[in-house]
Amino acid sequence: MTTAMGLNRKFLPLTITISLFVLMYGVASAVYPEFLSFRVFYNLLIDNSYLGIIAIGETFVIISGGIDLSVASVIAMTTMISAVLLEHAHWSPLVVIPLVLATGSTLGLIMGSLIHFFKTPPFITTLGGLYLSRGVCFLMSIDSIPIDNHFYRAVAETRIHLIGGFVSVNVLIFLAVVLGAIVLAHYTRFGRVVYAIGGNEQSALLMGLPVGRTKVLVYALSGFCSAVAGVVFTFYILSGYGLHMDGMELPAIAATVIGGTLLTGGVGYVVGSVFGTLILGTINSIIVFQGTLSSWWTKIAIGVLMFLFIAFQTLLSGRGGGRKRTTRKVEARGARSGA
């Protein structure tokens, strides 16, 4: 199904998201000429790399029809475990980094198992994961723990020079995660099954798709992405603290929704979540450049965008049977994947 302009209907939210980012960045550059510099754009990537990574993990969860509220707390837990093991126990980063990645993945695996095998609501289950992760942080320490490890400092201070500026190692990790997620979502059987589950779980079951295994792995993937984001944030902030990223699970969900991922599942793109993250980062940057606006305007702008995109999604999925057509396409795609 295409629109009057010949654009495939399913690409419309993604197109609007990209157009919104270009419009916002263009207007900001017209008002503040220095906004158009490479340096500002590179800083946009550096400052939002960890948010983009958790938004990617959240994208898979929401496409499957779920939600993950634990993502920001897993980042805090990752920073705390890293700080305690590096500074107090003097463990090697070669041990600490795989350990925290495994910890995040395991927590996601546990939550996914509870959701699938015990039919617990994703909202409540991942809320439990949120409190568990924060509790573990404060069980280790109620204070911030600075990280003075040589390897972590070297990574944090490394600069990759590009035209007009530089990026950090965090940006390279972010781009690697984006590329891996695109391949996983759109070029593997796992990705096709995730879309099928979100489109219609009962139909996916009837087609013989591995619904249970995929749902569990989706949350494990989200936990892994959160732990990767935690490692990236640790490089960025060089400290562990139980209040790091407090409340940032909501901007991660907002970036995903603004990126065009349908909250009811079955529709969404990794690239959309990347641009959703860049939109949130651009809003923050505009407020910084303006200089007199309160940072709370960021939340107001995000709230307005959320309302608009949710309303748009409702119209797109409800009018003319768009949701039903999307579901049938997802089911057909899942069937072709080898059901």
Task: Give the start-to-end residue ranges of the domains of the chain.
Answer: 9-336
Per-residue pLDDT for 159 more than 50?
Answer: yes
Per-residue pLDDT for 322 more than 80?
Answer: no
Query: Count of residues for the chain?
Result: 339
What integer is the mean pLDDT of 281-300?
Answer: 86
pTM for this model (two decimals) = 0.90
Give me the pLDDT at residue 318, please: 63
Which one is predicted more confidently, 6 or 140?
140
9-336: CATH number: 1.10.3470
Give me the pLDDT at residue 285, please: 92
How many C-beta atoms surround the C-beta of residue 33 within 10 A?
9
Structure tokens at 272: 């959309």
Per-residue pLDDT for 106 more than 90?
Answer: yes
> With contact defined as beta carbons under 8 Å apart, do 164 and 37 qualify?
yes
**Residues 305, 300: Cα–Cα separation, whole Å:** 9
201: pLDDT confidence band, cut at 50, 70 and 90? very high
C-alpha pair distances (Å), 209 with each of 4, 165, 297: 35, 48, 45
